[in-house]
């Protein structure tokens, strides 16, 4: 049964919603090397999907160490990217969502 999205058009606000223990799934990304977090934003109830991909972080150094954290774990921050144009969202905001952010546990 398709989900009924009950999106609320709340004002854009950068607010920390804390750790979300439920409602989010972390899967292997279908398109790139990494993971994908999807769920429903606890603030505006819009569907949001965020990619967590593996990549290089900097251009320094000649000798490359082995990948530092072979398997990172713990809570990680996710921001709402529901795609709705929330009122008062600044033009320069980097995320297309309501501004809320929270943490989701990485799968161990």
Partner 1 sequence: MSVDSWRWLQKAQQLRFEQLEIARKQAESWRTGLTGITALLAAVLVVKGRDSVSDLAQPYKWVVPLLLALALATLVWATLTAVSAASGSPSRKTLLTGEDLRDWTVGEVRRIEKAVVRARVLTVAGVTAVAAAVGVSWLAPVATPPAALVVVESASGRICGTLVDTSGGNLLVKVREDQQVVPLAGVARIRGVTACPR
Answer yes or no whether residue 56 interacts with partner 1 by CB under 8 A.
yes
Q: What does the alpha-carbon distance between residue 81 and residue 83 come to, in Å, rounded to a whole number?
A: 5
x/- site string to partner 1, residues 9 to 48, per CB under 8 A? -----x-x--------------xxx---------------
Task: Give whichever of 62 and 70 is closer to partner 1, judged by the CB atom.
Answer: 62
Site string for partner 1, 71-100 (x = CB under 8 A): ------xxx--------------xx-----
Give the C-alpha separation, 59 to 106, whole Å: 26
Whole-angstrom CA distances from 105 to 27, 50, 102 are 12, 14, 10
CA-nearest of 106, 42, 104, 96 to 78 is: 104
**Under a CB-based contact definition with an 8 Å cutoff, are residues 76 and 107 in contact?**
no
Nearer to partner 1, 45 or 51 (CB): 51
What residues make contact with partner 1 under the rule CB under 8 A?
14, 16, 31-33, 51, 53, 55-62, 77-79, 94-95, 101, 103
């Amino acid at each position: 049964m398709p989900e009924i999205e009950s999106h609320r058009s709340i004002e854009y606000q950068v607010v920390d919603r804390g750790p979300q223990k439920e409602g989010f799934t972390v899967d292997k990304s279908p398109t790139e090397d990494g993971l994908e977090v999807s769920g429903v934003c606890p603030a505006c109830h819009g569907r949001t999907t965020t990619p967590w991909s593996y990549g290089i972080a900097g251009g320094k150094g000649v000798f490359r160490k082995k990948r530092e954290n072979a398997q990172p774990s713990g809570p990680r921050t996710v921001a709402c990217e529901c795609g709705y144009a929330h009122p008062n969202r600044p033009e320069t905001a980097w995320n297309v969502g309501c501004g809320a952010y929270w943490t989701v546990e990485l799968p161990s």
